Chains A and B, each alone.
Chain A
Amino acid sequence: MRLRPVEPKDAAAIDAINALIPEGEYLSLSVKDRSDAADMISRLTPFDHMFVFETEDENPEICAIVLLRVNHQIYLRRTSYLRVIVAPKYQGKGFGKILIDAALKFANDELMMERVEVEIPTDNIAALKLCKSAGLKVEGIAKDWLRTSDGRYVDAYLMARCRSV
């Protein structure tokens, strides 16, 4: 397996993975991001980072996506927002942990990013455990943070990893 920066040609494979992920699934891309990967990739700023995690055979297959968006007020907020999505057929293999660890290391060692933030719906206990195991801490709970397509409001854990705390 290897992790590399995303390319515009990856859009179709990313759309295919997103289509298989249930709404509200942990660390998924936002609904807006999910609708059109080509558009999303074209709108990444020079501060943003997006990687794909793929197999290393003759026809590499994308297994997961890592998105690290950096706050554009870079002098005032050394904050980035992490999202990881693993294709259903590759879930349960520990890739989520590997990719969160890799993203935190990248943010820490290369970007010297003070904060990496993650939002997790409070009904996703597995995701909460995974993020805690990667060193992210719960900073609070935001009420009715998300609304599902059937109109249900969901609270979210706001988590972060601070570089120098």
Chain B
Amino acid sequence: MEIRPVELEDADAIAAIRREDGVREGVMSLSGERTDATVNFLRSLSGKDRGFVAVEDGKIIGFAVLLSEKDPSREHCASIAVMVGKNSQKRGVGRALLARLTDCADNELELHRLELLVLTDNEKAVKLYKSAGFTVEATKKHAAVVRGAFVDEYLMGRLHSKEAAI
């Protein structure tokens, strides 16, 4: 498996994963989400944002993104999201993508704070994020719609480890 920066040509494959049963619920997608939504999203990435895909045998199996906050009072922060195709889960793909993002945040962008939203019932994802230094900071009631019902999300945060130690 290889992790490489995302390209516009990856949009078809990413959009297909975003629509998969068992993936779309956690990544805020819809079964009717058109590929151009992904194209527009990739085009919107700016210089301080980062996107990576996980590729195996020439096939895209995962995608991760880091979005830097634009507001000057929150420029030290970025939000991240990681997704892995249904058939490629439980094999460390998410962990590898997450490690690439935290490396970017800590050593390249030198961000002070990373944050993410995750469904509270997504135990595997919560465990993965905890292992990378994220902690649950807030429980957002009814923050998302999944299968016809409101569900809760955790806001998880992680401060730059070197700075946090000071």
Q: Are B76 and A147 in contact (CB under 8 A)?
A: yes
List of A residues within 8 angstroms of B115 by Cβ: 142
When C-beta atoms are compared, the residue in chain A nearest to B30 turns out to be: A75
When C-beta atoms are compared, the residue in chain A nearest to B136 turns out to be: A140
B11 interface residue (CB < 8 Å to A): no
The majority secondary structure among interface residues of chain B is: strand
**Whole-angstrom CA separation of A74 from B29 in the bound complex:** 11
Stretch at the interface among B55-63, B87-95, B100-108, B140-148: B140-148
**B30 → A minimal CB distance (Å):** 7
List of B residues within 8 angstroms of A158 by Cβ: 137-138, 140, 155
Q: Are B140 and A165 in contact (CB under 8 A)?
A: no
**A121 → B minimal CB distance (Å):** 10
B21 interface residue (CB < 8 Å to A): no
Q: Are A143 and B159 in contact (CB under 8 A)?
A: yes
Given the known inter-chain contacts A76-B28, A77-B28, A147-B76, please indicate yes or no for A142 contacting B143, CB distance below 8 A: no
Tell me the A55-92 residues at the B interface (CB within 8 Å).
73, 75-79
**A80 → B minimal CB distance (Å):** 12
B157 interface residue (CB < 8 Å to A): yes
Q: Are A115 and B112 in contact (CB under 8 A)?
A: no
B113 interface residue (CB < 8 Å to A): yes
B74 interface residue (CB < 8 Å to A): yes
**Whole-angstrom CA separation of A76 from B142 in the bound complex:** 10
**Whole-angstrom CA separation of A76 from B115 in the bound complex:** 19
B127 interface residue (CB < 8 Å to A): no
Q: Which 3 A-B pairs have the closest CB atoms?
A: A140-B138, A139-B138, A158-B138
10 contacts between A and B (CB under 8 A): A30-B74, A31-B71, A32-B72, A78-B145, A78-B150, A115-B140, A140-B139, A144-B76, A146-B74, A153-B112
- 10 extra interchain contacts, Cβ-Cβ under 8 A, other than A143-B159, A146-B74, A147-B75? A77-B143, A79-B143, A115-B140, A117-B140, A139-B141, A141-B138, A142-B115, A158-B155, A162-B141, A162-B142
